Amino acid sequence: MARHNELGKKGELIALNYLKDKGYTILDTNWRFKRDEIDILALDNSTLVIVEVKTRSTDYFGNPEEAVNEKKERFLIRAANEYIEQNDLDFDCRFDIISIVKNDKETVVNHIVDAFYPE
């Protein structure tokens, strides 16, 4: 597996444990709809949380969350709508980003709640 893929998997595990420690209920991970993927689906009380995880080894080229552009947001919204429909859910929904910088010296987790809103 390529080094960046390994880092991404480590980041998703860090994010998953972070959310569990915060009391979130994990519903699913790496859920796919066609070409779209949701990294983590969780419940925060009675809110469905769609979580995109971005992990980098450095923030030299910018913060990891900056990689979530409008196109990625559209993919996440489309996948979230499908997940809600397939599972017949009736929850409030929000989109979070967990941004992680992980290297040999440190691991920094930044949880951005309500990172973007569907239009």
Boundaries of domain holding 10: 3-116
- Tens of pLDDT, residue by residue over 78-102, are 999 999 999 999 999 999 999 999 8
Q: What's the predicted TM-score (pTM) here?
A: 0.91
Low-confidence ranges of the chain (pLDDT < 70): 1-4
CATH no. for residue 105? Answer: 3.40.1350.10
CA distances from 85 to 7, 16, 31, 88 (A): 32, 24, 14, 5
> What domain count does the chain have?
1
75 CB-near residues (< 8 Å, 6+ apart): 35, 36
C-beta separation of 40 from 15 below 8 A = yes
